[in-house]
Chains A and B, each alone.
Chain A
């Protein structure tokens, strides 16, 4: 299916154009999600896309699925209610870096721990864009932001390490530059029977890029191209990974999934 067919099939055309700034990476990540869903052949009626608040969280509104735009940071808690109530639905959550790791941090670690079959995609652009460029939990140390005029005194999270520690069973990282690879990562995340976290590195030339002299959107994409390396290459040759951002499938494991465990309880009580 080519791009225009995908748009016809999966987007709410009357809701376009989107609100994102020129050069924003979020649209690229969203297209990856749509391609992943298409590749998996999911029934649109059975897909629910949930979001919180922020630039990334406007994404579901453009998609022709069951879509829910919730409160700041709480998307995973709403999604947990949906999935637990009806495990037949494919529940996908789109969050931003501030949304998921600051205000929503508690919900995120518990969704990981619960290993509930939800696929969370974090559109990480290292900044609060919607409110005008304040530093987020993923803004690098020392970088500039509207609330870090003298350089960020906070250290950032490694989103994927945190998710691993909290118990997610599928963890991957992709970028807006490596879009085709990201399709596959999201696809595998959706297929994983358990909680999947995919970090999608995005660029915000308007706030983060401009403040920190990262150049144009193309320059920021080039940064991803030059500074990311697939984990599989590093596994064979660790030296290649020095100073680089690891992308690809970072972690996978198997353990009981929440709604299946609960179903087992119901089934046992029926006996």
Chain B
């Protein structure tokens, strides 16, 4: 304790668990996988101390299913995994989106494809976090670049999941998951907690999938007297399957719109030395740390370089990226994949300024020198 604040030295993965507990996590289901395992281990230790529940399931498919079940029973639930496990979770992430069950999925990205590079960092799952499950569905993904931010964003991930009744992905990478930094654990009163909207009508009047004006329906928990039906099939407002094409279409559109329309509510980003920047580096997660160092060095040489760091990675920050293209002379997207977020930046900004890629898929963090060389090499 220093100055009334509670500091610890922690890993990104540990900070994620502390954030989850601060947000009210009462249930964790998971399956061991590097480099996310510390999240499961710490949850196994801490949850029962607080009266919560941990369970190690037989695989990631089951882990995802179990957190949906727990959430339907009324508790805030999370799972954590990495590349191969994230692939296995996709089926039930789609279910959570379709049945509107709040939950948080942490993916500490490692080198892919397939089992890839288990102990090495990557950002290869950016597109998977958006499009990984079949069909059109809403995706919210947040991506931290520090231990403190892993804590803060885990809290936000729970809040968004609860507010919009949808799965939220915390897209970490091995660099952030395993780095150790100072972590300030906030006081309870400092933390904003959002809980799912409950029905305010009697059970016999409850229409479980009838959305309010914010496009989100109030959610009853199993066991509270509201006996209703939940399905992954296209359903009407009562929650029962329908073959009515119009109703099915309206449902899919509402699911996507409830997130898209509210993007201003969770458009998180950071601007670094961007005021007069002519060259803009777009970087997120671990790579943004290298980008800031590269920018500091280039600034010493009088170069007008800055960084735009999306923290909300999905939905894409359309408005901010568009504005960026109006003031930058060139944009570099630096990421540990072969150009995934680049596709979005180029789509949004590419008409007004050149958008270039800085990529690395060796399982190593992109270094400041590599960013500087790439920019200089492009001259």
- Using a CB–CB distance below 8 Å, which chain A residues touch chain B? 12, 15, 44-46, 48, 50, 60-61, 64-71, 74, 77-86, 88-89, 106-107, 110, 262, 265-266, 269
Contact = CB atoms under 8 A, between A and B. Distances in A.
Contact of A48 (B27, B59, B63, B222): B222
B73 A81 contact: yes
Given A45-B225, A67-B228, A71-B232, 15 more contacts: A48-B223, A70-B68, A74-B92, A77-B57, A78-B65, A81-B27, A81-B77, A82-B69, A82-B222, A85-B73, A106-B58, A106-B59, A107-B65, A262-B53, A266-B51
Given A66-B222, A71-B95, A61 B58 contact: no
A88 B224 CA distance: 12
6 contacts: A68-B229, A74-B65, A78-B65, A82-B72, A85-B26, A89-B73
Given A77-B61, A266-B51, A84 B230 contact: no
B315 interface: no
Nearest to A57: B231
A136 to B, nearest CB: 20
A86 B232 CA distance: 22
Nearest to B27: A85
A77 B222 contact: no
Contact of A266 (B48, B77, B95): B48
A235 B241 CA distance: 46
A269 B48 CA distance: 7
Given A78-B66, A80-B66, A71 B58 contact: no
A118 to B, nearest CB: 11
B258 to A, nearest CB: 22
A107 B77 CA distance: 20
A259 to B, nearest CB: 9
Contacts of B233: 69
Main secondary structure of the interface of A (DSSP, over half): helix
Contacts of A83: 69
Contact of A66 (B26, B57, B77, B223): B223
Contact of A84 (B49, B70, B72): B70
Contact of B70 (A74, A81, A262): A81
Interface in B48-91: 48-49, 51, 53, 55, 57-59, 61-63, 65-75, 77, 91
Contacts, number: 132
A224 B231 CA distance: 33
B255 interface: no
B269 interface: no
B16 interface: no
Nearest to B220: A66
Contacts of B241: 61, 69
Contact of A86 (B62, B73, B91, B225): B73
A77 B227 contact: no
Interface in B76-118: 77, 91-92, 95
Interface string B296-326: 0000000000000000000000000000000
A86 B66 CA distance: 12
Residue of B26, B48, B224, B228 contacting most chain A CB atoms (<10 Å): B48
Given A80-B69, A81-B29, A82-B70, A69 B230 contact: yes
B240 interface: yes
B227 A65 contact: yes
Contacts of B67: 81
Contacts of B72: 68, 78, 81-82
A77 B62 contact: yes
Nearest to B57: A77
B237 to A, nearest CB: 13
Contacts of A45: 223-225, 227
Contact of B91 (A71, A82, A89, A110): A71
Contact of B58 (A46, A64, A70, A107): A107
Return the 6 tightest CB-CB contacts between A and B, nearest first.
Answer: A81-B69, A81-B66, A77-B65, A77-B62, A85-B70, A85-B73
B74 A74 contact: no
